[in-house]
């Protein structure tokens, strides 16, 4: 089965829920909504399962299987899949149906370039604006990252980091900037998870968050922007390195399979040794 047992749910369980409590990693198809529609809730569940790696790249997602899992008609499922396609988590092909998108180095480079710039701008604007309420939320989110960096809980750290990104964007006071950042964040969460896959990287990330917090609270826009850009840049570099290593491993395996087997041993005269005849 492609869908995960976690999805088993009755329709009565699918009443609109506050999105902050429904998302195990932090991704949500509608960050500005207090409650989600049924298609958005289905998209949120599947989207977070994709980010957690429970749907592998290239895996097919069957409409009828998901509909049966949630005990809903195929209409809301079809709409949920369109939401996931919009946010770059799946692609829908007329013949093959819905498939989880592959993780590629080219996509990392393409997505992270604008994200690095926008993250830096959000941190700079937050430092210049100095909204006490928004900065208090940002400080709390960064402290959460600091605590989780000392544990082995990758997904809890990823969610905390996502929350920190959300709060620094809110502190910028620019809703258009926030919308752009999160449109990209949704597409980079799987790469961010890859880039934060080791305890060392999470500790490095937490240090960057701490430096950004210090710069923002002191009103230093230049330092805040530099710290935000470095945070995303290091995540990109780690993701690219790990994807390159994985690709090299696949290529080495293909070459090993394609390599011809060694010839049978020959006698000193050069002729192949004959098998001994049975008595």
Q: Verify that 122 and 177 share a domain, yes or no.
A: yes
List pLDDT tens digits, range 76-135: 999 999 999 988 899 998 888 899 998 899 988 898 999 999 999 999 999 999 999 999
Distances (CA, A) of 44 to 19, 59, 73, 117, 263: 9, 17, 17, 27, 56
List pLDDT tens digits, range 185-218: 777 888 888 889 899 999 999 999 999 999 999 9
The DSSP symbol for 99 reads E
pLDDT category of residue 8 using cuts at 50, 70 and 90: very low
**What is this structure's pTM?**
0.73
Q: Residue 140's domain is classified under what CATH number?
A: 1.20.120.530
Is position 235 within any domain?
yes
Q: Total structural domains in the chain? A: 2
Q: Verify that 219 and 165 share a domain, yes or no.
A: yes
Q: Verify that 49 and 118 share a domain, yes or no.
A: no
Q: Residue 39's domain is classified under what CATH number?
A: 1.10.10.10
Q: Verify that 239 and 132 share a domain, yes or no.
A: yes
Q: Verify that 204 and 234 share a domain, yes or no.
A: yes
Q: Verify that 132 and 215 share a domain, yes or no.
A: yes
Q: What is the pLDDT of residue 223?
A: 97
Per the prediction, the chain carries an average pLDDT of 83
Q: Verify that 80 and 162 share a domain, yes or no.
A: no
Last residue of a domain, one of 66, 100, 134: 100
Q: Which range (88-102, 149-163, 265-279) has the least confidence?
A: 265-279
pLDDT at 179 exceeding the cut of 50:
yes
Q: Verify that 185 and 89 share a domain, yes or no.
A: no
Q: What is the DSSP string of 186-239?
A: HHHHHHHHHHT-SHHHHHHHHHHHHHHHHHHHTT-HHHHHHHHHHHHHHHHHHH
CA dist 19 and 34 (Å) reads: 6
Enclosing domain of residue 212: 105-245
Q: Verify that 95 and 114 share a domain, yes or no.
A: no
């Amino acid at each position: 089965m492609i869908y995960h047992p976690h999805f088993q749910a009755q329709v009565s369980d699918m009443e609109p829920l506050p999105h902050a409590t429904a998302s195990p990693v932090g991704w949500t198809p509608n960050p500005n909504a207090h409650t989600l529609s049924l298609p958005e809730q289905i998209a949120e569940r599947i989207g977070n399962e994709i980010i957690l790696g429970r749907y592998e790249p290239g895996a097919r997602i069957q409409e009828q299987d998901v509909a049966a899992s949630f005990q809903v008609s195929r209409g809301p499922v079809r709409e949920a899949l369109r939401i996931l396609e919009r946010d770059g988590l799946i692609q829908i092909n007329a013949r093959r149906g819905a498939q989880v998108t592959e993780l590629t180095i080219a996509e990392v480079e393409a997505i992270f370039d604008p994200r690095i710039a926008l993250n830096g701008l959000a941190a700079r604007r937050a430092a210049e604006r100095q909204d006490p309420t928004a900065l208090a939320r940002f400080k709390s989110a960064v402290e959460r990252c600091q605590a989780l960096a000392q544990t082995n809980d990758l997904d809890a750290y990823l969610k905390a980091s996502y929350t920190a990104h959300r709060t620094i964007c809110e502190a910028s006071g620019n809703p258009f900037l926030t919308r752009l950042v999160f449109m990209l964040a949704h597409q980079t969460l799987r790469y961010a998870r890859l880039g934060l896959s080791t305890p060392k990287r999470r500790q490095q990330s937490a240090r960057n968050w701490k430096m950004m917090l210090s710069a923002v609270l002191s009103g230093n826009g230049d330092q805040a922007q530099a710290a935000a850009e470095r945070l995303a840049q290091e995540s990109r570099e780690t993701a690219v390195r790990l994807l390159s290593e994985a690709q090299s491993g696949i290529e080495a395996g293909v070459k090993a399979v394609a390599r011809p087997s060694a010839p049978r041993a020959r006698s000193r005269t050069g002729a192949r040794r004959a098998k001994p005849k049975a008595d």
